[in-house]
Chains A and B, each alone.
Chain A
Amino acid sequence: MSGIEKSPPLRVMWAAQGSDYVSTLAWSPDGARVAVGHADGTLAIHDALDGRRIWCRDAHGMGVASLAWSPDGQILASGGLDNSAALWAPGEGAELRRLQAGRGWVQNLAWSEQGILGTTAGRELRLWDAQGDELYAFDAAASTLTGLSWQGEDSLMTSCYGGIEVWRTGAAKPVRVYEWKGSLLQLAVSPDSRTLAASTQENAIHLWDAQSAEDFQMSGYPTKVTAMGWRHDSRYFATGAGASLVIWDFAGAGPQGTEPLTVAVHTARINTIAFSHADARVASGGDDGFLAVYDTRSQRRVGSQREDVAVGVLAWSPDDCAMLAGYASGRLSLLRPEA
């Protein structure tokens, strides 16, 4: 493995200072703007071209937990630690609707392709239309929902303690459960929907074959897995636990019985992992202030950047030309890897 010094630096296109720890980021579908949620509850929209802040609102007391743009880019949804979700007009920042999403932090937001918004708040999963009218409230799950993913237009998956549940619109209770007696912390469904992956409290990831429900576990991590992500073609699945970046190869019969790629870049906990949308690059950021880009095709590090403050969250622009990094200090920077 090449040394950290050898990888080319990432070019800082712009930097902006926000109010507090950047807890969540979302690019508008057209790539023109970025929405940024901070730990003090501030929600801001920045111009992706120059970083200029277009507007900023005190959106959620206690902190912003989740953000999602509607597929047409006309509405921005935010979820907070104040147990509410909100819909915003991205242009001028008008609050269109406040949604009572349930009792608990609104940790997950997801739009379906047709523009139906799913929210989780504590143990409750609810669906809303683009006007913010409630379409459906499912029965509360047994414990807090930690992940959410649409599967087509009429089906959603959630993770919680005890497994992954499949919900279908019109049925109050889950229609299918992928069981695992453990606490699932994050859900990552492969883009081809064939594999369900979840990080667990027990220093392992748990995986299911979506069709057969056959499950298996990848363990041996030094700590619990705190970040993960799939490559767009579902071939690679990257996980971060402590300072270890571990990438599993799902080609052939993998990953069972295979050795994962381990990338030694970080010296402290990895907080965020993001695969690019269309090529083979994966970016990771951690408490060490280090941000690295690794190419899973050439299996080489292709870019890195160091700040003296922890990287909280990362997101690639829709065209994969640049990535936005949010730091613990509230700083934002748009970084471009060398071509």
Chain B
Amino acid sequence: MNDTRVPVTVLTGFLGAGKTTLLNRILSEKHGLRIAVIENEFGEIGIDDALVINADEEVFEMNNGCICCTVRGDLIRILGNLMRRRDRFDHILIETTGMADPGPVCQTFFVDDEVRSALRLDGIVTVVDAKHVQLHIDDTDEVREQIAFADVILLNKADLVSSPELDVLEQRLHSMNGLARIHRTVNADIPVKTVMDVGGFDLSRVLEDRPAFLEPEYPFEWAGIWELPAGITELRYGAGPDRTIGTLLMPAKGVAPEDLDKVATSANLAFTKQRKLQPANAKLMAGSTPVGLRVPEEGAQRSVQLLISQPGPYALVTEHGPDEFDLRLERDGQRLAPLLSREFNAGHTHDEAVNSVGISLEGALSEHKLNNWLGPLLAEKGADIYRMKGIFNIAGENRRVVLQGVHMLMDSTADRLWKADEPRRTEIVFIGRELDRQALTDGLRACLV
């Protein structure tokens, strides 16, 4: 079943982030595609083969039964007209204004039959100003929505920001939107294919980038186990992403992976406790209460003495990975390497209101149960669920069922046949505001046949 609908890419990003630069790059590169561009800001765009249409963002609310959503009326008109000459375009690009919520644009592709029958929303590309996004991300809903909706995020102007800062930013964006592929760019310089051919949903790609994505979230990012002798071990660290970083030193049962799992379980509880700042000059003993390590200025170093009474395996659990604040253990000036360590999925490290939940499940789902779960879920929580993408293993269906959703709207289509050697696995990702991983996982699990 070949989808012959014309692909559409939506381009979002704050004013000055580099949207127009990207657009110009797409239009000037020799890719052989005939592109129609619908733009909202009267800008200067160099065009050869492309058609550029200026649109007025006309957002209005639609009420269809119990589903309520906002759509772009101007887009329905413009796209309806473009479809008359669709054989002339291989791709349509829609640029939104800097302050736009991408929701209405996306919902337009679910709501209007004419649009839906001829066009396919291929991907949402968000251009982020790596230097300035920090100023807006905490208090501007539109910035968070643009990040949450993205399939691809360009961390543009990456040359203006230090590499550790970029790491932190990238991690933060990933904690908000686990689905997006993030590329660091300068002058929005990126191969056109990367942004124009986003295509379907591929959770395995996400997992390649971020193996911990499907795991439950922990209030910490990292844990490691060392064999420590009795006496003093120096814990040294430098500048980091937060002013204080929660750290827990606790005895471990052994040095096997399952011992690290047990550490994680105990630490999960321990991190809910009130923590104290670790005072200067005080020694830290192993226990069950995390402390806050005061982080020094850029370039400076601090250290804490760990007092070990019994030699044996000890675990250190930290809110950020050791690389982020140059954390290390030393004894007599010699660096001690952990015997094993692991990263943990820290969805709420930054108290992010926007998060994503990925669920992977074996076994076939009952279509009936799934509808009875998803329908009411979207009706109730749709306002908080920005996007949903998934591949479903439905009982009695030999093809993969691909599902896409925006807020309260969703659309499912039977995709290709499952391959003989391919595990029939349901994979779904929700991106939204304060999503409850446990409830979503339980809900989906209850749909198993």
Contact across chains for B73 and A144 when beta carbons are under 8 A apart: yes
Docked pose: A181 CA to B62 CA in angstroms: 9
Residue of chain A at shortest CB distance from B113:
A223
Q: Which of A39, A103, A123 contacts B85 (CB 8 A)?
A: A39
Contact across chains for A224 and B85 when beta carbons are under 8 A apart: no
A242 at the interface (CB under 8 A from B): yes
Q: In chain A, residues 194-209, which have Cβ atoms closer than 8 Å to a Cβ of chain B?
A: 201-203
Residue interface mask A218-259, B partner, CB < 8 A = 1: 000001101000000000000000100000000000000000
Contact across chains for B113 and A143 when beta carbons are under 8 A apart: no
A163 at the interface (CB under 8 A from B): no
Contact across chains for A122 and B60 when beta carbons are under 8 A apart: no
Chain A residues near B60 (CB-CB < 8 A):
143, 161, 182-183, 201
Q: Which of B53, B74, B84, B111 contacts A23 (CB 8 A)?
A: B84
Size bracket of the B interface = 20 to 34
Chain A residues near B63 (CB-CB < 8 A):
182, 202
- Knowing A201-B62, A201-B73, say if A81 contacts B112 (CB, 8 Å): no
Residue of chain B at shortest CB distance from A81:
B81
Number of A-B contacts (CB under 8 A): 60
B51 at the interface (CB under 8 A from A): yes
Contact across chains for B85 and A161 when beta carbons are under 8 A apart: no
A165 at the interface (CB under 8 A from B): no
Residue interface mask B45-82, A partner, CB < 8 A = 1: 00000010100101011111000000101101100010
Q: In chain A, residues 166-182, which have Cβ atoms closer than 8 Å to a Cβ of chain B?
A: 181-182
| Interchain nearest-CB distance for B196 vs A (Å) | 23
Chain B residues near A123 (CB-CB < 8 A):
56
Contact across chains for B64 and A143 when beta carbons are under 8 A apart: no
Chain A residues near B81 (CB-CB < 8 A):
39, 63, 81, 105
B114 at the interface (CB under 8 A from A): yes
Docked pose: A39 CA to B81 CA in angstroms: 8
Q: In chain B, residues 8-64, which have Cβ atoms closer than 8 Å to a Cβ of chain A?
A: 51, 53, 56, 58, 60-64
Contact across chains for B58 and A144 when beta carbons are under 8 A apart: yes
Chain A residues near B58 (CB-CB < 8 A):
143-144, 161
Contact across chains for A183 and B73 when beta carbons are under 8 A apart: yes
A323 at the interface (CB under 8 A from B): no
Residue among B53, B63, B84, B113 with the highest chain A CB neighbour number at 10 A: B84
- Knowing A161-B58, A202-B64, A269-B114, say if A21 contacts B73 (CB, 8 Å): no
Chain A residues near B113 (CB-CB < 8 A):
223-224, 242
Contact across chains for A20 and B85 when beta carbons are under 8 A apart: yes
| Interchain nearest-CB distance for A330 vs B (Å) | 11
Residue interface mask A121-160, B partner, CB < 8 A = 1: 0110000000000000000000110000000000000000
A73 at the interface (CB under 8 A from B): no
Contact across chains for A203 and B114 when beta carbons are under 8 A apart: no
Chain B residues near A20 (CB-CB < 8 A):
85
Q: Which of B56, B62, B84 contacts A21 (CB 8 A)?
A: B84
A62 at the interface (CB under 8 A from B): yes
Chain A residues near B112 (CB-CB < 8 A):
201, 224
| Interchain nearest-CB distance for B66 vs A (Å) | 13
Contact across chains for A143 and B73 when beta carbons are under 8 A apart: yes
Residue of chain A at shortest CB distance from B55:
A104
- Knowing A201-B76, A202-B62, A242-B113, say if A122 contacts B85 (CB, 8 Å): no
Contact across chains for A40 and B85 when beta carbons are under 8 A apart: yes
Chain A residues near B56 (CB-CB < 8 A):
103-104, 122-123, 144
Chain B residues near A48 (CB-CB < 8 A):
none
Chain A residues near B77 (CB-CB < 8 A):
105, 144
Q: In chain A, residues 29-79, which have Cβ atoms closer than 8 Å to a Cβ of chain B?
A: 39-40, 62-63
Contact across chains for B85 and A201 when beta carbons are under 8 A apart: no
Docked pose: A39 CA to B111 CA in angstroms: 25
A328 at the interface (CB under 8 A from B): yes
Chain A residues near B85 (CB-CB < 8 A):
20-21, 39-40, 63
Residue interface mask A95-130, B partner, CB < 8 A = 1: 000000001110000000000000000110000000
- Knowing A21-B85, A144-B56, A269-B114, say if A183 contacts B62 (CB, 8 Å): yes
Docked pose: A242 CA to B116 CA in angstroms: 13
Residue interface mask A281-302, B partner, CB < 8 A = 1: 0000000000000000000000
Docked pose: A270 CA to B172 CA in angstroms: 49
Chain A residues near B61 (CB-CB < 8 A):
181
Chain B residues near A312 (CB-CB < 8 A):
84
Residue of chain A at shortest CB distance from B85:
A39
Chain A residues near B71 (CB-CB < 8 A):
201
Docked pose: A203 CA to B84 CA in angstroms: 22
Residue of chain B at shortest CB distance from A226:
B114
Chain B residues near A328 (CB-CB < 8 A):
84
Chain A residues near B74 (CB-CB < 8 A):
144
Contact across chains for B73 and A161 when beta carbons are under 8 A apart: yes
Docked pose: A79 CA to B37 CA in angstroms: 22
| Interchain nearest-CB distance for A156 vs B (Å) | 21
| Interchain nearest-CB distance for B394 vs A (Å) | 25
Contact across chains for B51 and A203 when beta carbons are under 8 A apart: no
Docked pose: A23 CA to B111 CA in angstroms: 24
Docked pose: A144 CA to B76 CA in angstroms: 12
| Interchain nearest-CB distance for B85 vs A (Å) | 5
Residue interface mask A266-288, B partner, CB < 8 A = 1: 00010000000000000000000
List 17 A-B pairs, Cβ < 8 Å.
A20-B85, A23-B84, A62-B51, A62-B53, A63-B84, A122-B56, A123-B56, A143-B58, A143-B60, A144-B77, A182-B60, A183-B60, A201-B71, A201-B73, A201-B76, A223-B114, A242-B113
Q: Would you list the 3 A-B pairs with minimal beta carbon distance, nearest first?
A: A223-B113, A21-B84, A39-B84
With A81-B53, A104-B56 known, 14 other A-B pairs at CB within 8 A are A20-B85, A21-B84, A23-B84, A39-B85, A63-B84, A63-B85, A103-B56, A122-B56, A143-B73, A144-B56, A144-B73, A201-B73, A203-B64, A226-B114
Q: Which residues of B contact A (CB under 8 A)?
A: 51, 53, 56, 58, 60-64, 71, 73-74, 76-77, 81, 84-85, 111-114
Q: Which residues of A contact B (CB under 8 A)?
A: 20-21, 23, 39-40, 62-63, 81, 103-105, 122-123, 143-144, 161, 181-183, 201-203, 223-224, 226, 242, 269, 312, 328
